[in-house]
Amino acid sequence: MGMYEINRGMGYTNKNGTKSVNVLTLEDLAVEILFARGKFPGNRFLLAALMEEVGELAQAMLQGKSEAEINAEAIQVACVALRIFEEQDATFADLKPEESLK
């Protein structure tokens, strides 16, 4: 299976120097992506949504929220980041190189 192994347990593990992927986390992420695409089907303003979600995650961590609340925010950050990876952000589709921030 290469350098990665699949872990159906909870949390991240590292056995014999192998990085483990938690399948349950990936399933949670897939569910969150499907929910988000149903609620917000377009791919405009995804970068703004990502920044909002990162802020909410930071706030949850800084306020000492529960592990469940922090995990929920972290999954939402991963969800939007993966949507940008797969769908891009249409807000920037017409941005010309000379108009970009360098």
Check residue 93 and give its pLDDT. Answer: 83
Maximum mean pLDDT: which of 53-62, 67-76, 88-97 = 53-62
Report the distance separating Cα 19 and Cα 6, nearest Å: 9
* pLDDT class of 22 with cuts at 50, 70, 90: confident
pLDDT digits (tens, 9 = 90+) for 26-70: 999 999 999 999 999 999 999 999 999 999 999 999 999 999 999
Its pTM stands at 0.79
Tokens of 87: 């769908």
Is residue 1 scored above 60 in pLDDT?
A: no
Q: Which of 58 and 18 is assigned the larger pLDDT? A: 58
Task: Report CA-CA distances (Å) from 33 to 24, 99, 101.
Answer: 14, 31, 29
